[in-house]
Structure 1
Amino acid sequence: MSTVTLEREAIRKASSNKTKKPFVLAAIMLAMFMAAIEATIVSTAMPAIAADLGGFSLYSWVFSSYLLMNAVTVLIYGKLSDLFGRKPILSFGIIVFLIGSLLCGMAQSIEMLIVFRFIQGFGAGAVMPIASTIVGDMYTKEERAKIQGYLSSVWGISAVLGPAIGGLMVQYVSWRFVFWVNIPLGILAIIGLYLFLHENVEKKKHSIDYAGAGLLFLSVSTFMLVMVEGGVRWSWLSAPVLLLLSISLIAFYLFFLQEKRAKEPMMPFDIWQERSILIANTTSLTTGVMLIGISSFLPAFVQGVMERPPIVAGFTLTTMSIGWPIAAMIAGRLLLKIGFRKTSIIGGVALILGSIIFMSLSPEDGPVWAAFGSFMIGVGMGFSTTSFIVSIQSNVPWQKRGVATASNMFMRTLGSTIGAALLGGILNSRILQYLQSNGVEQEFSLDSTTLLLNEDQRNMLSDSMRVILQDGLTYALHSVYLVVAGFAVLSFILILLLPKESISKH
C-alpha cells in the first residue's frame, strides 16, 4: 500500500473516530425503513387509491414508475457517493424522496400520482445502496457481518408493519397519509446523519462522468421500459419494443466505451474482474427473478385456488420477510466462522428447498405449507445476500465501495424486473393454453381468472366453471414455479463457483 493511500486511510480512521456509530446506524435504519415500508404500505392502499383517483388501466405504472427510477439511478448515486462522500448524496436522496412523498399524497389523478412516484423513485435510488455502504465504511469486516443482519431486520419489520399501517390509514384516515407517514422518518434520518456522521472526503476537483451517467440512464431506462410494457402494452416483436431494445443496446455499448476512457468512470468495470463480485452480482440477478416470482404470484394461488382471504395470502408472503432477517443475523455470525462461500451455499440449498415446495404445491396442501415454502425462500435470500454484500465490501477499497455495493442491488432489481416480464408472460400463455386445450376459450379469457380473486364473484361461478379456472391457474403457476426452481438451481451452481476465502480487509 502506498504512503498516500496510508495517509488517506489514517484521515478516514480519524474522522470515523468522531462518528457516533450507534446514532448513525439508527439514522441509517430509519432511512432504510422509510424506503422498505414504501412497497408494502402502498400495495395495501392501492385498491383504495385506484377507487378514489380512477384510471385502473394505469394501476401497474404506480409501481413501475418507482421501480424504473430506482433502478436507473442506483449506480449513479453509488458512484457519486464515492466522489463526494456518503452524507451529502444520501441526504439529497432522502430529500428528493420526501418531496416525492409529499406530492404523491396531494395527487388529484392517477397520472399525477405516477409522475410523483417517478420523483419518489429518483430519491429512493440513493437510500439502500448508500446506507449499506456507510455500514461498510464504519465497521470492520467482523463487525460488518453482524450489522448487515440488523439492516436486513428492517425489511422484516417493514413487511409486517406495512400492511397493518396501510390498512389502518386507509380505513380510518385517508390513503394520502400512506405517503406522508414517510416525512417525519426522513427528517429524523437527515438530522441523525448531519449530527453524528463525520466524513473526511479528500478535497479535490473531481472529473464527473456526465456522459457515462447519461448513457447509463438511457440504456437502463429503455431496457426497463421494455421489461415492464413488453407483452402487456406492446407485443414482444412490435416496432416500439425493437426500437427501445436497439436504443438500450447501442447506449450500453457507448457507455462501455465511455467508461474505458473516462478519468473517473461512473462504473469502474475493473471491479467486475474480481471473481467474487462477478459471481455475487450474477447470482443476485437470478435470485431477483426468483424473488419476484414468489412475491407476485403466491397471493393469486392462495386466494384464487386455495380460496383463502387476502389476509391469509398476505401471511404466506410475510413469512418470507420473517425468514430473511433471521437468516441474515445467523449469516452474520456464520460468516466469521465458516466464510462467505459456505454461508452462501447454505442460502443456495434453502432456495432450492423452497422452490421444490412451490413446484409441488397443490390446493390440498393449504396456506401453512405455502407459507413454509415462502419462509425457506426468505432464509435462502438472507444467507446469500448478507454474504454477497459483506464479501463485495471486503474486496474493494473505500473509493469504489459505493458503486460496488450499488452494482449488487442494481443486479437484483434488474433480475426482479426481468422476472416480472418473463414469469408474467409464462403465466398468461399457460392459462390461455389450458383454456384452449379444454375448449373453453370462447367462454373464458385471461381476465376471467381475476374472478377467482374476489370471494363474491367466485361464489357466483358454477362449480364446473370455477374448477376449470382454478385448474388453469394451478397449471400455469406450476409452470412459473418450475422456472423459479430452474433459477434456484442456477443460483446454487453460481454460488459453488465463488472463490475460497481470500478476503482483504478494507
Structure 2
Amino acid sequence: MSAKGSNRALVIAAVMASMAMIAIEATIVATAMPQIAAELGDINLYSWTFSSFLLAQTATTIIFGRLADIYGRKPVLLVGIAIFLVGTIFAGFAQSMHMLIAFRLLQGLGAGAIQPVAMTVVADLYPLHERGKVQGYLASVWAVSAVVGPLAGSIIVDAVSWSWVFWVNIPVGILAAAGFIVFLREDFQSRDEKVDVMGAVLFSIAVGALMIGLTNIEQASATYIITAGAVFLAALGLFIWQEIRTTHPMLSLDLWLRRPIASSNMVTFIAGMAMMGLTTFLPIYIQTVLNRSALVAGLALSAMLLGWPAAATFAARSFHKIGIRPLMITGSVFVPLGCSLFLSLTPASSPLVAAAGSLIVGVGMGLTSISALMLIQASAGRTERGSATASNIFSRNLGSTLGASLFGAVLNYGLLHSTGGSSVTAGQLQDLLNRSTEIASAVAPIRAALQDSLHLTFGAMVLIACLTVVAGVFVPSLRPAPEGGASVEPGQ
C-alpha cells in the first residue's frame, strides 16, 4: 500500500476537517443538550444521548480499522463520513429523545470509522521522523474544538434552532470527503481475504454489553447488571473461540499481544480512566465546594487542553532525540503528579491550584498519547496499521468508560457514608449546582460531605494514575531505522 501521488498538505487538511467533526460534536452537543432535552422530554434518557455515541464508536473502531487494512483507507473513510453525516442530518430532525439517541448511535458508527482510519492515513503519508508537525496540528484540532464548541453551542441555541448544533457539521464533512476523493491517492490492492463477519458481530455484542453495563452500573438493578455481564462474557468467549479457529480473524491476537502494542495500549487505557475522573469530577468540586461559577470551573478544566497539544507537539518533534520510551515514562509520571494536586484542595483553595493540576495532567496525556500512537504505528506493518491504530483509540475509549463508572461509584459511596452521618441526595447536589440552596446552615453540611467524598474520589484517581507509571516501565525502546523509520529494539 502506498499513498504516493497524494497532495499531502491537502490530505492533512481533509484529515483535520474530519477529526474536527468528531471533536466539536462532543462539546457543542453537550452545551445544547439541556435545551434539547427540555424540548423533547424524557429527561431520564438524557445520558443515553452521549452513551449511544460512545458505545457505537467504541464497538466499531476495531472493525473499521481492520476493514481499512483489507480494502484500503479511502473507501472506509468515505463510508464513515457518509454514515456520520446521515446521522447528523437526521439528528437535527429528531422529534423525540428515542429518535435522537438512535441517530446519535448512527453518528457513533461513523466516528468509529473516521477517527482510527484518518490517523492511519497520516502514518501512511509521513515516515515516523516527519510526523511531529502533523501530530501537533491534529492535537490542536481537539484543543480548538474544546474552546469553540461550547461557545458555538450556546450561541446557536440562543439565536436559532438547536438542530443547527448538528447541521453545522454538514459542510465540514462534505469538504473532508471531497478532500479525500480528490487528493488522496492509494496504490492499494484489496486483499483476497474473507471478512470475519461473525467475529465482528460477536465483538460488537461483547463491547456493547460491557459498555451498557458500565454506563448504567450506578442506576440499574442487580438483575440488569448481571444480565449485561452474562451477555458480555458469553459473547467474549464465543468471539475468542471464533478468532482462534478462523483463518482471517477480525482481531489478530498476535498483533494485540505484541509487547509494544500491549504495553502502549495499557498506558493509554489507564490514563484514559484517570482523565475521565478529572473531566467529570473537578468541575463539580469547583462549583460546589469552592463555590465558583461554571465558567471558572470550565476555565480550570481547559488548562488540560492547553497542556495536552503543547506536550503532544513537543513529543512528536523530539522523540528521535529523546526516545519514545523516556517520553512515555515521563508522561506517565505527570498524570499522577497532576492528580495529586487535587488532594491538596480545600474549601479555601484558589481555582488556580485546580488549573495547575489540570495543566500537569494535560502535559502527561499529551506525552503518553502521542508516544503510544507512534510506537504502535511503528510496530505494525502497513497491512496491520489500521488495526493497530484502532486498538489504541479503543483502549482510550474503554478506559474512559470504566473510569467514569469506577469514580462515580467511589463518589456515591462517599456521599452515602459522609462524615456527618447523613447522606447527600442527588436533589441536594443538583440544588447546590443550580444555586437553589442559599441558606448557609443548609449548604454547609452538603459542602462538607462533598469535600470528603470528592477527596476520596481524587484519592482513587491518584492510585489509578500511578498505575500508568507501572505500565510505562514495560514499554520497549525504539531505535532509528534506515530511511527515517523506526523499529523496536530486538528482544522487545
TM-score by length of 2: 0.96
Q: 2:98 aligns with which of 93, 98, 111?
A: 111
Q: 1:425 aligns with which of 398, 402, 409?
A: 409
**Structure 1: distance between partners of 2:409 and 2:452:** 14
Q: 1:219 aligns with which of 169, 189, 206?
A: 206
1:440 aligns with 2:419: no
Q: Deviations over 1:26-59 (max 9, x none)?
A: 0000000110111111111111112211221111
1:233 aligns with 2:220: yes
* SS of residue paired to 2:384: helix
Number of the residue aligned with 2:489? none
* Alignment of structure 1 residues 357-372 onto 2, 5 Å: 357-372=341-356
Number of the residue aligned with 1:498? 475
Q: 1:82 aligns with which of 64, 69, 72?
A: 69
1:458 aligns with 2:432: no
Number of the residue aligned with 2:279? 295
Amino acid at match of 1:89: V
Amino acid at match of 1:239: T
- For structure 1, the 5+ residue unaligned runs are 1-11
Contact 1:169–1:178, Cα closer than 8 Å, also in 2: yes
More deviation, 493-502/34-43: 493-502
Amino acid at match of 2:449: G
Q: 2:155 aligns with which of 168, 172, 177?
A: 168
**Structure 1: distance between partners of 2:269 and 2:372:** 12
4+ residue stretches of structure 1 with deviation over 4 A?
A: none
Amino acid at match of 2:385: R
Instruction: State the 1:502 CA deviation.
Output: 4.2
Number of the residue aligned with 2:54? 67
Number of the residue aligned with 1:485? 462
1:396 aligns with 2:380: yes
**Aligned sequence identity (%):** 41
* SS of residue paired to 2:189: coil
Number of the residue aligned with 2:429? 449
Contact 2:334–2:361, Cα closer than 8 Å, also in 1: yes
Q: Alignment RMSD, CA only?
A: 1.4
* Alignment of structure 1 residues 180-329 onto 2, 5 Å: 180-234=167-221, 238-329=222-313
Q: Deviations over 1:127-177 (max 9, x none)?
A: 111111111111101012332222111111111111111111111112111
* Alignment of structure 1 residues 11-26 onto 2, 5 Å: 12-13=1-2, 16-26=3-13
Q: 1:379 aligns with which of 355, 363, 367?
A: 363
**Structure 2: distance between partners of 1:327 and 1:93:** 29
Contact 2:420–2:449, Cα closer than 8 Å, also in 1: no
**Structure 1: distance between partners of 2:473 and 2:421:** 46
Instruction: State the 1:232 CA deviation.
Output: 1.1
Contact 1:395–1:503, Cα closer than 8 Å, also in 2: no
More deviation, 189-198/151-160: 151-160
Amino acid at match of 1:193: F
Amino acid at match of 2:192: K
**Structure 2: distance between partners of 1:320 and 1:373:** 8
Amino acid at match of 2:18: A
Q: Deviations over 1:416-460 (max 9, x none)?
A: 1111111111111111111xx52434xx523311111012x032x
1:138 aligns with 2:125: yes
Q: Deviations over 1:50-99 (max 9, x none)?
A: 22112211111111111110110100000000000111101111111111
Instruction: State the 1:204 CA deviation.
Output: 4.2
Amino acid at match of 1:453: L
**Structure 1: distance between partners of 2:446 and 2:108:** 37
More deviation, 389-398/296-305: 296-305
- For structure 2, the 5+ residue unaligned runs are 487-492
Count of equivalent residues? 483
Instruction: State the 1:288 CA deviation.
Output: 1.1
Number of the residue aligned with 2:339? 355
After superposition, the Cα gap between the structure-2 partners of 1:203 and 1:131, relative to the gap in structure 1 and judged at 3 Å, is closer
Contact 1:391–1:503, Cα closer than 8 Å, also in 2: no
* SS of residue paired to 2:389: helix
Instruction: State the 1:190 CA deviation.
Output: 0.2
1:414 aligns with 2:394: no
After superposition, the Cα gap between the structure-2 partners of 1:439 and 1:278, relative to the gap in structure 1 and judged at 3 Å, is closer
**Structure 2: distance between partners of 1:195 and 1:170:** 35
Number of the residue aligned with 1:46? 33
Number of the residue aligned with 1:35? 22
Instruction: State the 1:501 CA deviation.
Output: 2.3
* SS of residue paired to 2:348: helix
Contact 1:83–1:399, Cα closer than 8 Å, also in 2: yes
